[in-house]
Chains A and B, each alone.
Chain A
Amino acid sequence: MERPILSFDNVAKSYGEVRALHALTFEVRRSEIVALLGPNGAGKTTALEIALGLRAAGSGKVSLFGESPRSVAIRRRLGATPQESGFPDMLRVEEILNFVREHYPQPAPMAETLERFGLTELAKRRAGTLSGGESRRLAVALAFAGDSEFVVLDEPTTGLDVESRRRLWEVVRSLGEDRSILFTTHYLEEAEALATRILVLDRGRLLFDGNVNALRTRVGGRRLSYVGADGPVALTTQDADAYVRALVGSGVAFSDLEIVRPSLEEAFLALTGGSQ
């Protein structure tokens, strides 16, 4: 089997008495886009920091391209977003981008990166004058600036309006075609739109690892509603097909039959026990 890009093997981490991660095991493989989904305080940031070599694992083994994430050479194959938009105020967008590009052997062309993230018009602007959404776009652009094989995005669209969020998803999706991406988010919609695989993290534990459909089925069943002889009926069933067959077979009158898959939101709540 091909070596994974990133692997966590029983990684645990505590801050004093507080356990941030409990024996976390997962992998990011080639050309996967993996979402690390969870409510605030789930341990997403800790997991990300360990993956980036910013923090040491308390126990367990982490490897990035088969080596320690603390190795400088390995980091040439990795691009990441700054966590908050704390850029040096006086530097221009193009200067920051260029500075980051200089760290990589074959960076993405400057003009292309600016264009892709809608920064062309902002190239000469000082970072200190960017709006929240603009600096978020710059942050994500920096993660891709080196054209690296593995990109880690920390809440890439937090603070963006719906329109720019969708546009950014499209860019990330197309850039994800020939590289692996790991991103954290607390938006279910974002995980659904981007990820080929979703990891659900809650209170430091991995609750789920699979694709979107599997996450939905994991919660199982269908929500089913109709208006019967005695008024509206709503229920959840594991086998909607059998229920409908029986309903029709019974010959009672009904109308407005509706069968709905549970939303990802519901799936998530079911998994985390409603802690979001």
Chain B
Amino acid sequence: MDTGRVTLAVFRKDLLAERRTKEVFTAVLLFGFTVSVAFTFAFEPTSAEARKITGGLLWLAFLFSAVLGLNRAFARETSNQCLQGLRLIPADLGGVYLGKLASNLLFLLLAELVLLPPFGVFFDLTLWARPGWLLLILVLGTWGLAALGTMFSAVSANTRMQELMLPLLLLPLTVPVLIAAIESTVILLEGRPMSEAALWLKLLTGFDIVFTLLCWLLFDFVVQE
């Protein structure tokens, strides 16, 4: 199937480029780390109240660094007009979106996983009590950010204020992802039963599926001329 072939080719290409340059992963990791440190100054890290907000802080750190990473990732396609070159292929470009979504998701997840231990150290958290659930929340949340983020980085690349447009569009539209991811993380960190997070995880899954499908269908319109 055309789309599958294109998705796989784009994914492999992004992986290859990232393995060689490590730009996106490094940017996300370093920025996330810096933001986390900044948070330790803003919020008293070891107080009892802080535990309630660290779930929020974690996802804010992920969100801000994701914006940086997504911009960097898409910059590869705009130099030398590579994205226009992709329009020459005998297939529709939805597969390009899916491929880039997959690679962005992978790079963001890897950076987040590396970011977790230092974050846990700063805020004195036991993150690894239920690693399966933690991973699930990370994947579902990051997927939501990446789904709209990949789309909007393509949209922003066509505007005069590229770097501004992506966060401007992404932040309000990913509010459901943020709320759901933060709530689930807080439930996890406070040791409460994960059944309480069922609603949030369902919301996340729904969001991810709906927007991945929608963006896949609409991507062609974004890259046309």
Q: Do the two shown chains form a genuine complex with each other?
A: no
